[in-house]
Every structure is written in structure tokens, then in C-alpha cells.
Amino acid sequence: MTTTLRPLTAALIAALALPAAALSQKETDDIVARVDERQHNNGDWAALCYMESKEKDKTDVVYELVYYRRTEGQRLLILFTKPKSEAGKGYLRLEKNLWHYDPGTGKWERRTERERIGGTDTRRGDLDESRLAEEYVAKWEADEKLGAFDVHRLLLDVKPGIDVAFPRVRLWIDAATGNVLKRQDLALSGRLMRTGYYPKWKKVFSESKGTDVWFPEEMRFYDEVEKANSSLILIRQVDLHPLSPNMFTKAWLEAKSR
């Protein structure tokens, strides 16, 4: 009896010791597509955002802003409301051009889509709809534990001809929910630039989509090059009702800035 059990025990131990089976490319792509799909809203979006930026040897900066999105035309509008010195400034994305407006000078300036919002470590993409499947090719790296969560660890490389701030991204995706829990942004050189954590996810029902839209209620970004720098983003008061048709225009932002 003992002799017959020994090989079985050994086989069981060996099976447990083996790494988790690799996900196929299709399974990996599906996971990434699911991340996008859960956050996709087939319509308009409005939300309030608090952004806190800490930089070494500088005073902490806290911004309050509202931002609006429209799925059609991939439009995005960001309007700073606080502090007073920043109120009225804003960004408008029109046909792949990101414009910055400063009411102090009354001028519109074209900015790169990889712009640091308000000079912080926050990027336009952090506030925009998730388009991972459109921009990156994913590769499964491992299934592992991130704290108490079972996660898929994926490595995403930017597709040729697409411009993104970070050409390589590593994601830790909750296996149970499909929410991103951790993200590493890497430079072309392979250097780790930024680590992001998404500890709180929330959902809101979208009538246009007919189902829930998920969004990270809290995002924390840690600069990995300048270690002392970090940003905290809180998303509040998400509203998915249709916005005014003429909202994503320069005139609208200028009027709001007065």
C-alpha cells in the first residue's frame, strides 16, 4: 500500500510544483479585450476628478477638474476648476490633436497626446477610455498572486505605427473580475518609468451600452525614475447621461473659462 501511494504522492507534488499552464494567445487577447470592454461606454461620460501630485523639493499640488468623453470620435474634454490659478484651463481632443487652452492668454496650443496633464505624472490616457487591445499586442507572462488576488500578468508591446507614451506595459489583471490592479509603464529602453495601482473599481449602469461600465475610482502612480514623485487620482460623480451636442468645441471650453 505504502509503495503504491508513493508514486501518486510524488506525482501530486510534481503537479503542484509545476508553473500554471500558459494562457493561449487567444485567451490573452480576450483578457485584454475584456479589460477594454468593461470600461467602454458606448456614449457620453462626465466625471469629477481630483488629482494630487507630489514632487521632490516642490509643494504638493492638488487639482480639481471635470472631464467629459464621447465614444464617437474618441473625444475628450478636460476643464480645470481648482485651484483658482488653474481654473478655466483645459484640454480638448479633436481628431487626434490635443489642444490646451489657457484663459490667461486666451490662446490655444497644440500639445502631444502623450502630454503630462497639468504638468503632473498623469497622462491623457489615464483619463481616457481604455484602448489596450487597439494599441498593444499582449503576451501572457504568468498567473500569480498579487496580495490576496489571483492575477494574470501580461506584457503588452505597442503595435507598429501607433504612438503611445509608454511602448511597453506590464499589467496585473484580476483573474476573477478582469480589472487591472497594477500596471508598469516601461520606456523604449526597457527602463521602468511608472508603476500604477488601481485599488478601487466601481461600476455605473450605462443606458447607451445597456450594461455596467467599470472605472477605477482611485489610481496611484509612482514615478520609478524620480522615486519621490507620485500622483493620486480620484474619480467621482460619474454621469453617463448624454452631453450637449456642441460640447466638444473650443467655443464651449472658452465660454466655460470666462
Partner 1 sequence: MILVDLQIASRNLLNHTKRNLLLGGAIAAVTALLVIMGALTEGIRSAMLESATTLMTGHVNVGGFFKITSGTSAPLVTDHEKVLADVRRLAPEIDYVTVRGRGWAKGVSERSSMDLVLAGVDIAREPGFRRVVRMKEGSLEDLAKPDTVLLFEDQAKRLEVRVGDAITISAPTARGVSNTADVRVVAIARNLGILSAFNVFLPSETLRSLYQLNASTTGALHLYLEDAAEAGHVAARLRGGLAKAGWRVMDPDPRPYWEKLMGKVNSEDWVGQKLDVTTWEDELTFISWILSALLGITGLLMFILLVIVVIGILNTLAIAIRERTREIGTLRAIGMQRTKVLWLFLLEAASLGLAGTACGALLGVALAAAVNAAHLAVPESMQFFLMQQQLTMTVLGRTVVARSLFILAVTTGAALVPAFHAARLKPITAMHHIG
Report the C-alpha gap between 175 and 144 in whole angstroms: 10
Of 42-50, 104-112, 207-215, 247-255: span binding partner 1 (CB under 8 A)? 104-112
Binding mask 25-64 for partner 1 (x = CB under 8 A): -------------------------------x--------
Q: Does residue 111 belong to the site contacting partner 1 (CB under 8 A)?
A: yes
Contact with partner 1 (CB under 8 A) among 37, 52, 102, 113: 113
C-alpha cell at 118: 497639468
Contact with partner 1 (CB under 8 A) among 25, 73, 82, 97: 97
* Least distance to partner 1, CB of residue 120, Å: 14
Q: Does residue 110 belong to the site contacting partner 1 (CB under 8 A)?
A: yes
Question: HSE of 13 in the Cβ direction (CA atoms, 13 Å)?
Answer: 6
Of residues 188 through 217, those in contact with partner 1 by CB under 8 A are 188-189, 191, 193
Q: Does residue 6 belong to the site contacting partner 1 (CB under 8 A)?
A: no
* Least distance to partner 1, CB of residue 45, Å: 23
Q: Name the phi and psi angles at 187, rounded to 5.
A: -80, 175
The separation between CA 87 and the C-alpha centre of its own chain, rounded to angstroms, equals: 24
Contact with partner 1 (CB under 8 A) among 60, 109, 134, 212: 109
Q: How many CB atoms lie within 10 A of CB 52?
A: 16
Of the pair 114, 200, the CB lying nearest partner 1 is at: 114
Contact with partner 1 (CB under 8 A) among 96, 176, 237, 245: 96
Determine the length of the chain.
258
Task: Enumerate residues 6+ apart whose C-beta is below 8 A from 97.
Answer: 110
DSSP 17-32: HSPPPPPPHHHHHHHH
Q: Does residue 226 belong to the site contacting partner 1 (CB under 8 A)?
A: yes
Report the C-alpha gap between 128 and 96 in whole angstroms: 13
Report the C-alpha gap between 104 and 100 in whole angstroms: 12
Of the pair 46, 193, the CB lying nearest partner 1 is at: 193
Contact with partner 1 (CB under 8 A) among 43, 90, 118, 167: 167
Of 24-32, 102-110, 128-136, 231-239: span binding partner 1 (CB under 8 A)? 102-110
* Beta strand pairing call for 90-94 and 75-82: antiparallel
